[in-house]
Amino acid sequence: MSSFVFQRLLSFFMTLAVTSVVVFGVLEWLPGNAAQVILGETATPESLAAMEEKLGLNQPALSRYLQWTGGLLQGQSGMSISYDTPTAELMLERMHVTLPLAAMAMSMTVLIALCLGLYAASKQNSSGDLGVMTLSQLGLALPNFWLAILLILLFAVQLQWVSAGGFPGWSTDDGGGLWAGLAALVLPATALAAVQTAILTRVTRSAVIESMSEDYVRTARAKGLSKQQVLWRHVLRNAMIPVVTVMGLQFGNLITSAIVIENVFVLPGIGRLIFQAIANRDLIVVRDVVMLLSAMVILINFFIDLLYAWIDPRLKTGTPAV
């Protein structure tokens, strides 16, 4: 087990290092002068020189990369040009919205998709199976931003059950509270979860149907277990490897997809931060936010690898599944 964890840790840090090089390199190789991009075409030579010194553009690229990564390792972030605030403070403040939003959307996705996928697999080729697959196809066809607009029109404009956008905050001192904050995230989380639920439902159905054709299922049925008992006790766990794989990818996708949804619902999350940073040409914020999102996706996949070993211990020793 220790060897398995060590290999995954090594892979995690190597992937993180490569990602930092790619993120830094892409922004470094963008055409034009970064100081010119930030200040605009009307900037004077003196202001350009001052901005280049502030950004460290007068230093070699390797030196700037080492300073950036060294600062991240020490918990030090860059200073935002437009906000005049350390990027770490900006990101921490915005993650208070983005993480609960992604967690709520992922909870909806897993709960609904597992139930629908198991139901469709147990009723294979029936009218219920056809209905679930039709709904999942509809979910795949709807872009989440368009669904978000429809949800606003229905529940905020027509029914007036919730507000059309904004976030009241988690504290009662800010005029919000726990329930008010959760209520403000219901529609955005639903819009985020729709497509992911459709995908996971189809994956769950396929994985369960494949597992139900194995010999151990017939053995369990021969021992007198009902179809539902076999489904929940034996089939589900053996079908979870592909399902968990998709779950890990989806959680990372939910965080990055929040860039669009947070702007539709005017939520002060990490997605809206990077959108505003791009609009304000604040490349320091863009670089640190992209690195944060990349690191979160890599971390999620690291935990998914560890979860694999718990679901199927054969993966720790490399024993092939039979």
For residue 203, what are its two tokens?
A: 């994956």
With beta carbons less than 8 A apart as the criterion, state whether 109 and 121 touch.
Answer: no
For residue 9, what are its two tokens?
A: 């840790």
pLDDT at 255 over 70: yes
For residue 236, what are its two tokens?
A: 């589900």
Q: Given this model, what pLDDT does residue 1 score?
A: 54
Percent residues over pLDDT 90 in the chain? 10
User: pLDDT-based confidence at 318, cuts 50/70/90?
Assistant: low
User: pLDDT-based confidence at 109, cuts 50/70/90?
Assistant: very high
User: pLDDT-based confidence at 322, cuts 50/70/90?
Assistant: very low
Which candidate, 256, 244, 262, 266, places its Cα nearest to that of 296?
A: 256
User: pLDDT-based confidence at 314, cuts 50/70/90?
Assistant: low
96-317 has which CATH code? Answer: 1.10.3720.10
Give the separation between CA 138 and CA 144, rounded to whole angstroms.
12
Give the separation between CA 300 and CA 278, rounded to whole angstroms.
26
Q: Given this model, what pLDDT does residue 27 score?
A: 80
> Nearest 5°: CA angle at 214, between 1 and 124?
120
For residue 168, what are its two tokens?
A: 């009241």
User: Can you give the residue ranges of every domain in the chain?
Assistant: 2-73, 96-317
Give the separation between CA 272 and CA 265, rounded to whole angstroms.
10
Kindly report the pTM of this predicted structure.
0.81
Instruction: Summarize pLDDT for 138-168 with one digit per residue, the tens.
Output: 888 888 888 899 999 998 888 888 887 888 8
Which of residues 277 and 315 earns the better pLDDT score?
Answer: 277
With beta carbons less than 8 A apart as the criterion, state whether 101 and 185 touch.
Answer: yes
pLDDT at 98 over 60: yes
Tokens 């039979």, located at residue: 322
Instruction: Summarize pLDDT for 33-74 with one digit per residue, the tens.
Output: 667 767 777 778 888 888 777 777 778 888 888 888 888 888
Contacts of 122 (CB under 8 A, 6+ apart): 208, 227, 228, 231
DSSP 318: T
With beta carbons less than 8 A apart as the criterion, state whether 318 and 107 touch.
Answer: no
Give the separation between CA 314 and CA 3, rounded to whole angstroms.
14
pLDDT at 263 over 60: yes
Average pLDDT over residues 19-37: 78
User: pLDDT-based confidence at 190, cuts 50/70/90?
Assistant: very high
Which of residues 321 and 126 earns the better pLDDT score?
Answer: 126
pLDDT at 115 over 80: yes
Show the beta-strand stretches assigned E in 26-182.
Answer: none
